[in-house]
Chains A and B, each alone.
Chain A
Amino acid sequence: MSTTAAASVEEKKMRPPEGWREEVDASVRWPVIAFIASGTFWLIVGSVLALLASFKFNHPEWLVEQASLTFGRVRPAHLQTMIFGWVSMTGFGVLTWLWARLLKTKMRFGWLQLVSVAVWNVAMVIGTIALLAGFSRSIEWVEFPLFVYIIIIGAIAIAALPLFEMLRRRRVHHLYVSIWYIGAALLWGPFLLITFSLPIYEGVAHATANWWFAHNILGLWITPVGLAAAYYFIPKVIGRPIYSYHLSILGFWTLALFYNWAGLHHLVGGPAPQWGVTISIVFSVMMVIPVVVVALNHHMTAFGSLKAVLRSPTLRFIVFGAMSYTAVSLQGSFMSFRFWQEITHFTHHTVGHAHLGVYAFATMVLFGSIYYIMPRLTQWEWRSSRLINLHFWTTALGIGMYVVALTIGGILQGMTLLDTSATFMEAQFITEPWLYARSIGGTLMTVGHLIFGYLLYSIILKKGPELEGPVYFAPVLRSGASSSSAS
C-alpha cells in the first residue's frame, strides 16, 4: 500500500543515529531511578500499614492505645501510600523510560522531573502524617487533605513537561500503542484529580462523583500505564511484533470510551440516581470488548514462547500481570450486575477484587518493567536470580492467597447477610478464617517487597558481583538473541 510505503520513507528520514538507546537511557537515568526508588519506599511503608490493618482484623485489641495506629487511620494511609506513592510514582518512572525509548529521543530538562520527585515525596509525607494524625477527609481514595492533591497535581504537571517536549522532538514517525495509553493517562490523571476537587458536590451527588473518580483513577491512570508496559515488554522480550495492530487500536479507543462510564456501579441499591447506576452497569459490561481485545493481543503474542516466560524475570512478572488484567476485568464486568452485587456489595469480596487489579495486575507489571529497565539505566546486573525468583513466588503466592481468601470469604459474608435467619455477628464470624488467610498472604507479599527493595538498593549502588551478562532464571541456550532484547 502506498500509505505504508510513504510511512516507511518518513520513518527512514527520522531514523535516530547508532547508539541512540544508550544516549536516551542516559538522559532519563536519574529521574527514572528517583521515581522508582521513591515508589519502592512507599511500597514498603504501605505494606507495613497494610499488615497493621490486616492483623487488627485478627486481633482487634492489638495496638488500640495509640490513636495514630487505629484501624480507621492506617487503612486509608495504606491505600493512599500505595496508590499515590508506589503505583503513581513508580508508574511515572516506568512511563518516562518507555516514553523515551519509544520516541527514540533524549529527555531535555530532566531536572524538572527530579524537582517533581522531591515535591511529590514531600506531599506524600505530609499526607501520610496528616492521616495518621487524624486529618482524614474520609472520602475513599482521596483521604489526604485537599492541598496535598494540589501539590501532587503540580508535581505531575512538572514531570510531564519534559515528556511533551520529547513528543515534539520525537525521532519516530508512527506512535506505538504504549505511547497512546501513556499520553492519554497523562491527561486523564490530572483531569480526574482537578474535577473531583471542584467544590460543586454535596450529599448524594458527592458520592456519585466520588465513585466516578475512584473507579477512573484505577481505570484511566493506573491501568493505562500497566497496559503500556505490557504492550512494550511482551513483544520486546519475546522478540516478535504484537499480534495485531488493528486490535490494539480497537482496544485503546474502546477503553477510552467505555471505562470512564463504569464507576457508578459502586452505588447499586443506594440512594444515588439509579439512571446513573444503570448506565454504569451497561458500560461495565461493554468493557468486555477492550479487555478481550487486549487479552488476545497480549496472550497471542506470548503464546508459544512459554520458555521465554519461564526464563525471563521481566516476562514472568508481566505475563502474570497481563493474565490478572484479563481476570480482574472480566470479574469486574460480572460484579457490576445487580443480582451479584446484592451478595457481594459491602463485603470483603470487593477488597479482593481491588487487590487483583492494583496488585496482581498493576504492581506485578511494574515489578517486571523494573527488572528490565534498571540494568539498562545503571549498566549493572541484578545481583541474584534466586532472590528475584523468591520475590516472584512470595508475591505471586501471597496475592493468590489474598485474592482467593477474600473472594470466597466475601461471598460467604454476603450470603450470610442475606440470610434472614442468621444474625449479623454470624456474618462476621464466617469471615474470620479468611481474614487470617489474608494476613498470611499479605505477610508473604511484604517479604517479597523487602527482597525487591534489597535488590533495587543493590543495583542502584552497584553492590554485588560484576556479572558478564543478564540474569535469567535458567540458562538461555538459544543464541542470537540480541543483548538488548532480554533481561
Chain B
Amino acid sequence: MIRASVLFVGSLAAILMSFVALSVFPAVQLMEIEPTEGRIDYNFAESQGRQVYMREGCIYCHTQQVRPDGFGNDIGRGWGTRGSEPGDYVFDFPHLLGTMRTGPDLADIGQRQPSRDWHLSHFYNPRSVSEGSLMPSYPYLFEIKSEAEVLASDVVVNVPEAFAPDEGVIVAKEDVLNLYAYLMTLKQDPTN
C-alpha cells in the first residue's frame, strides 16, 4: 500500500461496523426491556454490598448467570430453575456476569443458601463450613471484640471451635452485612 489515507479510513470503517453492531445495537435492543417479575432496584445497604462484591473481586471466581436447560449442568446442580435472561439484570451497572467458576454460580444464591449464619461464617473462613474450599478468608471484614465490648446491636458470628479466635468473639462489620444483603437479592424469580 502507498496511501496512508486508505489504511486509516479502511481500518476505522471496519471497527465502526462491529462497534455499532455488537456494542450499540444490543444496548438499543435491550434498552426498553422489562425487569423480571418481582425484581426491584437495590436499596442502600444492598447497593453498598454490591460495591463490596466489586471491590473484593468476587467476579474473578463466581459467575452470576445460569446456563439454560440442555447446555451444561447448571440446573442439575441446583444453581437455578431456568437460563438467565436479560430482564434479570436491568438494575445492574456494571454487569457482574463473571467468566470463571473457581467457585459456584451465585445467580440464585439468595434462595439456595439464605442462612446469614452460614454466610458470615463462610466469609470469616470458608473452610469453616465448606471443607477444602480454595476461597480466601476475609478476616478484615470482621473485628474481634472481648465479650464485654459487644454491643446489643452487634452481629456476633458463630464459627466452629477450630476456626474461632483464641480470645474474644467475632463481630461482623457493616461491609460484610451489606455484602450479605446484596447476595440475598440474587434470586431467580424473586416472587417465589
Contacts and interface: CB of A to CB of B under 8 A. Distances in A.
Contacts of A340: none
A279 B104 contact: no
A138 B59 contact: yes
Nearest to B88: A271
A269 B10 contact: no
A429 B77 CA distance: 17
A465 interface: no
B15 A188 contact: yes
Contacts, number: 234
Interface stretch (B49-57, B113-121, B154-162, B179-187): B49-57
Nearest to A184: B11
A201 B4 contact: no
Nearest to A248: B1
A256 B1 contact: no
**Looking at A60, A271, A279, which has the most chain B CB atoms within 10 Å of its CB?**
A271
Interface stretch (A167-175, A236-244, A314-322): A167-175
A420 interface: yes
Interface string B4-44: 10011011101101110111111101110100000000000
B139 A276 contact: no
Contact of A280 (B22, B29, B83, B135): B22
Given A76-B60, A187-B8, A203-B92, A271 B140 contact: no
A417 B73 contact: yes
A279 B23 contact: no
B86 A175 contact: no
Given A188-B15, A201-B23, A256-B10, A75 B60 contact: yes
A253 B73 CA distance: 40
Nearest to B25: A276
Given A60-B134, A60-B136, A184-B11, A418 B73 contact: yes
Interface string A179-218: 1100110011001100110001111111111101100100
A273 B26 contact: yes
Contact of B23 (A173, A208, A280): A208
Contact of B22 (A138, A212, A346): A212
Chain A binding site: helix, strand, loop or mixed by DSSP? helix
Contacts of A179: 7
A135 B54 CA distance: 8
A139 interface: yes
Chain B binding site: helix, strand, loop or mixed by DSSP? loop
Contacts of A427: 101
A57 interface: yes
A419 interface: yes
A192 B18 CA distance: 11
A249 interface: yes
A139 B85 CA distance: 20
A467 B113 CA distance: 68
Interface in B68-112: 68, 71-73, 76-77, 83-86, 88-102, 104
Interface in B117-154: 126-127, 130-140
A325 interface: no
A174 B2 contact: yes
Nearest to B27: A205
A255 to B, nearest CB: 9
Nearest to B2: A174
A138 B99 contact: no
Contacts of A220: 15
A272 B57 contact: no
B140 A420 contact: no
A466 interface: no
B53 A208 contact: no
Given A249-B1, A256-B11, A419-B73, A203 B57 contact: no
B89 A271 contact: yes
A139 B59 CA distance: 9
A378 interface: no
B46 to A, nearest CB: 16
A20 interface: no
A438 interface: no
Interface string A405-428: 000000000000111100011011
B58 interface: yes
Contacts of B12: 187, 191
Contacts of A216: 15
Nearest to B65: A270
A101 interface: no
Interface in A3-41: 7
B26 A272 contact: yes
B68 to A, nearest CB: 7
A209 B136 contact: no
B138 A183 contact: no
A111 B90 CA distance: 47
A204 B132 contact: no
B178 interface: no
A216 B7 CA distance: 18
A261 interface: yes
A-B pairs with the 9 shortest C-beta distances?
A72-B57, A138-B54, A184-B11, A203-B89, A205-B27, A346-B101, A260-B18, A206-B95, A134-B55
Given A187-B11, A206-B94, 11 more contacts: A60-B136, A64-B139, A139-B94, A203-B89, A203-B92, A204-B30, A204-B86, A205-B27, A207-B97, A264-B22, A270-B84
Interface of B: 1-2, 4, 7-8, 10-12, 14-15, 17-19, 21-27, 29-31, 33, 53-61, 63, 65, 67-68, 71-73, 76-77, 83-86, 88-102, 104, 126-127, 130-140
14 contacts: A60-B137, A73-B55, A134-B55, A138-B94, A139-B95, A140-B59, A183-B7, A187-B8, A196-B23, A203-B91, A249-B1, A256-B14, A263-B22, A273-B86
